[in-house]
Structure formats: structure tokens, C-alpha cells
A and B are shown apart, each in its own frame.
Chain A
Amino acid sequence: MASICFYFQVHQPYRVKDYRVFDIGNDSEYFNDSSERSINNKKILNKVAGKCYLPANAVMLELLNKHPEFKISFSFSGVFLDQLQEFSPETLESFQKLVATGRVEVLEETYYHSLSFLYSPDEFRRQVRMHREKIQELFGVTPTVFRNTELIYNNALAMEVEKMGYKGIIAEGADHILGWRSPNFLYRPQGTENIKLLLKNYRLSDDIAFRFSSKDWADFPLTAPKFAEWASQVNGNGNVINLFMDYETFGEHQWEDTGIFNFLRHLPEEIYKHPDNDFVTPSEAIARYEPTADLDVHNYMSWADVERDLSAWLSNPMQHDAIQSVYKLEEEVLATNDEKLICDWRKLQTSDHFYYMCTKWFQDGDVHKYFNPYNTPYEAFIAYMNALQDLRLRVVGHPSYAKKVKVRELP
């Protein structure tokens, strides 16, 4: 028996506009670019909704109706859902329709798609709670499986998430962790009692997400029968094939003319041709299978770049400076009790901001450049730090801040 477990990540950040030093103190809207540039959040969301979310959801609904056993799962960031409510309610509705079938699981994550676990466990817990409430409000379901931003993971995270009551957690099936072991089994995170770990089968996932339209690839073109055949080879050698990828794979990273939607449309029937195979959601996989072994992940891993570590967000001095600067404000920002101020501060925690500042691969013009709406990582940093400086002034200028300082000054 080999089960296919699909999980699609759906996230869009609030990109910071070209916020200049002269705007500090004069403009507290950091995310409202209205130009033709790719930092215009409304424009991007509508573009991706048209190319990916709406057509892909239509295919998914069609598949769910046609195959009563077909199942998938999503993880939505809170900031993505906010943007749907603001810019594209019809897209939100189409996601709600999918979840309403009862065969689409929604996973938990941090509301702001943040790296908060690394810098502030308290803030991490707050953002998870906010996300839980948002999912309940919009979809009427309560997630039981957790996935952290960009599949950033280690033992400590698993222990924390177990304490928070989740049954399962999702991570990358990185070679440097697994070695000879297979990602097609469940594992028990080192130091935990009950929580189960699902690992991404990155080879099969990337065959769809990255290599699907690559003409240099020996297996091009990828067809549904071919892929089903590969999946079937896992039979007897694993329990579950975790296919985790960005939802934007369908129509945005792989354009419609590559045939990606047709591939998707025919995949379930091809999978079902092998009678031992089926589809499961993460929580079903967790209910059905026991962990085969403990897995010890001491250092952080993630699903980004060949390194599968934190270097996409935290490798150069700018990235460290920026993220430390934002978390340094935590106590004072929260003390203001100013909803808008706190929300802006949290939007600045989204991991994408730090990804845009990455200079690791900048010269090679690869995925970092593809996903970077700024001309250079340096411009991303300057706009971010200017916005953060303005936020700092708002904190200092806040009535509650003045009160606090006064109290401190008393003998």
C-alpha cells in the first residue's frame, strides 16, 4: 500500500513598497505600492489568482467530485487569507468550497508566515493561535497537523508543537538528515511522545514542482501515467509518499501551456490504476501508520535551496541585522496595544522580506532572482529598514510609550 499525500502551500507576503528614508515619519503605509512593479500586492494577488488559484481550484473541485476517495491538503498563511479577503473574495470562496467537501484538510502554521520560532517562542505561540482562529472563522475546521514556515524544523520545534496539542508535524525529507532512510515512512521526532513526523519526498515533489517543464530533464515530458508508475514503485517499500509543494506550481511556476493542469486532471485516475494506491490527508496518514523510528534533527533544516538550511533567510549581515531589529521591538510594540501598529510589526516578520535580502545566489540569476520583486537584495533591505525605522518612531511616539518611560523615571 502506498498512499499519496498532497499538501500545497499557499502564501503571499505583504511586500514592502519602495519606502524611502524621506517617508519616515510621514507615511505609515508600508505595503500599499500601486505601481506596475511586482511589489504591488494587489496586482500580484490578482495575477496569481487568475493564473493559478482559480483555475487550479476548479480542477481540484472537478477531481473531488469525480473521485470520491481523492484527498488533498492546504496550508494557508494568515496574510494570504487577509489578502484574499481584501483583494479577491471570489478566490477565498473557491477555497472554501474545496474545504467544504470534507476531503480537503487545512494545516496549521504561523499567521504571518514568520521565523518567530527562532526569535520569540511567545510570539510564535501567539501567531499559531491567531492562525487557528482565522482557519476556524473562514473554514469552520480546526487543524491538527502543523507545518512551520518554509518547513523550517528541528527537535525543539517538534517538542513545542507537541506541547501545543498537535498530532503531526511536517518537514523536509532532507538527504543530510535521512541518509539511507526513506521519507516514505512516518517518524517520531527525537524527544517527543506522541507527535508524528511526515517528511517530504523531495524527488517526486520536485519532479512536478521544478522539473515538470524542463526540456533538459531526461524524463521530460512528465505524464500522469509515468508519474503514477514511479509512485507505485514505492509499494512494499514505504507507506506514504508526501508530495509537498507551493500551490503556485499549478499555473504560475509551471504555466498552463506546459500542460500542468492536464497532468493534474489525469493523475488520480492513473494512481487508481494501481489498486494498492490511494490518497490520504496528513491526519489520515498519522491515524493509519505508526512511526518506524526516531528521527534526530538537532540543527534547523528547511525546504529551501540545495542547502536545505536557514541560509536563504539568514546568511548575510543584512538579513541578521534586519530580523534582529524587528524582534528587538517586540516588547514595546505589544505594550502599545495599538492594533494597527502591532499588525504592521507582524507583517514585517514575514520570512519573504529576509529572503529578498539574500545575496547567496544573486549572481547566478536562479530562483532567488526569480522570486525577488526588488531590483537587488540591497534595495529590499533599504526599503525594509526605512519602514522599520518609521514603525519604531510610531512606537516611541505612542501615548502608552510615554507613560511607560515616565513610570520608569520615578524614583
Chain B
Amino acid sequence: MFGWEFPPHNSGGLGTACFGLTRALANRNIEVLFVLPKKVGVSASFMNILFADERRVKFHEIETTLKPYVTSEGYIRERDKIFSDVYGNTLMQEVRRYALRARDIAKKEKFDIIHAHDWLSFLAGIEAKKVSGKPLILHMHATEFDRTGGQGANQEVYNIEREGMLFADGIIAVSNFTKQKIIERYGIPAEKIEVVHNGIDECDYANIPDKLSELKRAGQKIVLFAGRITIQKGPEYFIRAAKRVLDVNPNVLFLVAGSGDMERQMMMEAASLGISDRVIFIGFLRGDDLSAAYKIADLFVMPSVSEPFGITPLESIIAGSPVLISKQSGVSEVLTHALKTDFWDTEDMANKILGVVSHRSLWQTLWGNSREEVKKITWDAASKKCIDYYEKIICECGVASDVRYI
């Protein structure tokens, strides 16, 4: 499996998904050889700690500066900080170098199927298939169109995604929403794509500390945004809805947890709307800090322009806050007990936010029902679907039983 770093060292849902899925696969007796980029300060020994009792997951690191969600410019900035000739000069060069290292690993190791997560690892998956002849499954957590909010998709990234999917034996999409995008934007036939919704494991969210609770002292209501502050996540719609909410009820505090290239712009926007005192940018949070923010919130809002899945609403519900999510998201396919809105309809968004902060009964009903619902959205269910799909693909590729390991 070509994946990405696990929590709490991850920088988004991709690492959370890799972890949840790998652990659930291991629990179902699947051996996973997990290949990931090596980063200074974190090592496979940490990853092994997460699976203390398990011998079924082995880690293999490749030295690289790649990380999820990196852009071409971002990569060059990071790379320039490092005095080494090992890394590629551009993001694309580095992705190719990573793939060649993956090829070396694939030559030595034994496995039945290759499972690669998101485009940065697709070339690695392709190389591994070429040297091993094993079937390749690509897992689409996001497309280039999601990341760029539909504006200025990178052609090279698109090509890697498209060629990867054409070459692969099977594709897993995290939602029907994403499957549809893959069909329409990449011209991949529907029957080649399997939808496996992400899940969540409650045990990862036990004992959430009571931080930030002083924010509620004045009886004010708290509405939370948590995610990268990028065009994909729709932060500007959150700010505009906040303005409309505050027009009606000034006793609401809006928290923005996250960082990203639009952070400064969003601060300016809040200032120009005259609501800077009611919109607090609390920076990038992870682990317990993020859970504590969910816990004190009266409502979590995910106004994403295009969200292939979106694990954060599920985390929020477990931690104690009901959710308002954009209809343009995969998670809305599995969550019925959520308020839903079109990301651009900030009037509707504000109306629903005000509904929750004004009526305790709505909060209780919404959260209580969603809390029950989330119990059924597990990684175990996702891993079972994955395993069934592995079987199907292995079978279709005509792998003889004498060369199989599982």
C-alpha cells in the first residue's frame, strides 16, 4: 500500500483515512506493507507503535520531501530549504524519483495487490505493477478538480491521474460524488470504479479534554470551521454566512481552525465586513486540540465547494457537535442526520446556523440522531468492501492460486 503519514502527524484527512483503513484491514487478517514518504523527525518506529500488537503491518519509508496536498510552488519552496542534491528540482521530478524508489521496493517484497492513495503515489503504484505484474488499485480521495475548486487544474497532475486510472486494474472512489467526477472529467468507465465510503473509529476520540471552554462563559454560541483554508474548503462562504448570522444575533462566535493559502485573504474579508471581533482564526489544530474545538462548538460547518468525502463532520459528531455540510460532499451520502446546504447559498447557511444556535431542541435532536448514525459508519465496513474488491480484481486479473499469498 502506498499511503501517507498517520495521525497525529498528518496534515489532513488523507492520513486519517490511510490509518483507519490499514488498521481495519489488519484486523481482518490482511497483511499490509505500508510504503510512505520519510520525513525528518518521524520514523517507522512511531508507526509501529500504533500497531503494537500487530505483526500484520510493516512499514517501509522512502526519503522524500513529498507530502499530501503539496502544490508545485509549495514543493519548490520546501525543497529550497534543504541542501541536498538527492531530491528532484520540481514536484514532478520528485514524484518520478519517488516512483523509482518504489520500484526497488516492489522488486524485493512479496504481495498480491497494490493499493495506492491519491495522485502523488500513483506513479509509484504504476512502477510497482510494472515490475511485479500484480494488479493495481488506485484510491481516489480527491481529484485535481476538487483540490483547485474547479479553477486552474494542473494539467500534469490531471495527466497522472487520468493515465494512472486508465492503467490501473481497479479504482476506488470515496463517494458517488467522486465516482461521478471520475466518469465525467476523466472519461473512465463507471464499471471500473468501486465506491467505498470512508469510516470513523470512535475509539480514536475518547477522553477529549475540556479546553477552550472559557469561550462559552459569556453564554455565546460557537460555530466552527475546521479545514485547510483553501479554495476547495469554501472558507469565504463561511465568513459571508457569519456576517449574515451576526446581523441577526451578535452573540455568536465563529472559529476558523486551519491554515492555508487563503488565510490572510479571509482575515481581510472578516475585517472588511466589520466582524473581526466575532471571527477568530485559531490556526492549524490537530489531535486533542481539534477534538476540543469540536466539543465546545454548537455547530460545525463544512462549506466545501467540492468535497470528495470529508471525515471532519464525522469527527465533529463524535466529539459532540452536530454538523451543517455542503451538498457538494461525499459525506452527505452517508449522513442523513445533518443539515445540508449548497456551498454558495450563504443565506440558507446563515438561516440554518441561526436555527441551531436559537433552538436547543434542534441541537439535541440533530446531534442525538447523528451520534447514533455515525456508529454505523466504520472503517471496518470500509475495509470489508475493500477486501471484497481486492478479491474481485485479483480474480479478474486471472491470478492463479499458486502464486497468491492471500
Which positions in A face B, CB cutoff 8 Å?
A: 20-22, 316-318, 320-322, 359, 362-363, 375-379, 381-382, 385-386
Q: Which of A318, A322, A359, A386 lies at the interface centre, i.e. has the most chain B CB atoms within 10 A of its CB?
A: A318
Partner of A378, one of B244, B354, B362: B362
Question: Is B196 in the interface zone, CB < 8 Å from A?
Answer: no
Partner of B347, one of A22, A317, A378, A385: A22
Contact string against A for B residues 347-378, beta-carbon threshold 8 Å, 1 for contact and 0 otherwise: 11011101100111110111011000100000
Cα–Cα, bound, A381→B373 (Å): 20
A382 and B248 contact, Cβ closer than 8 Å, known pairs A318-B362, A320-B361: no
Beta-carbon contact of B359 and A321 below 8 Å? yes
A317 and B361 contact, Cβ closer than 8 Å, known pairs A362-B336, A381-B355, A382-B355: yes
Contact string against A for B residues 165-184, beta-carbon threshold 8 Å, 1 for contact and 0 otherwise: 00000000000000000000
Beta-carbon contact of B340 and A382 below 8 Å? no
Q: How far is the CB of B283 from chain A (nearest CB, A)?
A: 31
Cα–Cα, bound, A21→B354 (Å): 7
Beta-carbon contact of A363 and B366 below 8 Å? no
Q: Closest B residue to A316 by CB, please name it.
A: B365
Question: Is B137 in the interface zone, CB < 8 Å from A?
Answer: no
Q: Closest A residue to B358 by CB, please name it.
A: A385
- Which residues of chain A are near B348, meaning CB under 8 Å? 20
- In the A-B complex, the 7 residue pairs with the smallest Cβ-Cβ separation, listed nearest first, are A321-B361, A382-B355, A317-B361, A20-B351, A317-B364, A316-B365, A318-B365
- Which residues of chain A are near B361, meaning CB under 8 Å? 316-318, 320-322, 381
Q: How large is the interface on B (under 10, 10 to 19, 20 to 34, 35 or more residues)?
A: 20 to 34
Which positions in B face A, CB cutoff 8 Å?
A: 244, 248, 336-337, 339-340, 347-348, 350-352, 354-355, 358-362, 364-366, 368-369, 373
Partner of B350, one of A21, A322, A376, A381: A21
Cα–Cα, bound, A21→B357 (Å): 12
Beta-carbon contact of B359 and A378 below 8 Å? no
Cα–Cα, bound, A70→B368 (Å): 51
Q: Provide the main secondary structure of the chain A interface.
A: helix
Q: Closest A residue to B324 by CB, please name it.
A: A378
Q: How far is the CB of A132 from chain B (nearest CB, A)?
A: 35
Q: How far is the CB of B119 from chain A (nearest CB, A)?
A: 34
Beta-carbon contact of A359 and B358 below 8 Å? no
Q: How far is the CB of B348 from chain A (nearest CB, A)?
A: 7
Cα–Cα, bound, A386→B336 (Å): 23
Q: Closest A residue to B355 by CB, please name it.
A: A382
Q: Closest B residue to A369 by CB, please name it.
A: B336
Chosen A-B contacts, 18 in total, with CB atoms closer than 8 Å, are A22-B244, A22-B350, A317-B360, A318-B359, A318-B361, A318-B365, A322-B361, A362-B336, A362-B337, A363-B373, A378-B355, A378-B366, A381-B359, A382-B351, A382-B352, A385-B358, A385-B362, A386-B355
- Which residues of chain A are near B347, meaning CB under 8 Å? 20, 22
Q: How far is the CB of A211 from chain B (nearest CB, A)?
A: 27
Q: Which of A21, A317, A359, A382 lies at the interface centre, i.e. has the most chain B CB atoms within 10 A of its CB?
A: A21
Partner of A381, one of B244, B248, B337, B362: B362
A376 and B365 contact, Cβ closer than 8 Å, known pairs A22-B347, A382-B351: no
Partner of B369, one of A362, A375, A381, A386: A362
- Which residues of chain B are near A386, meaning CB under 8 Å? 351, 355
- Which residues of chain A are near B351, meaning CB under 8 Å? 20-22, 382, 386
Beta-carbon contact of B248 and A376 below 8 Å? no
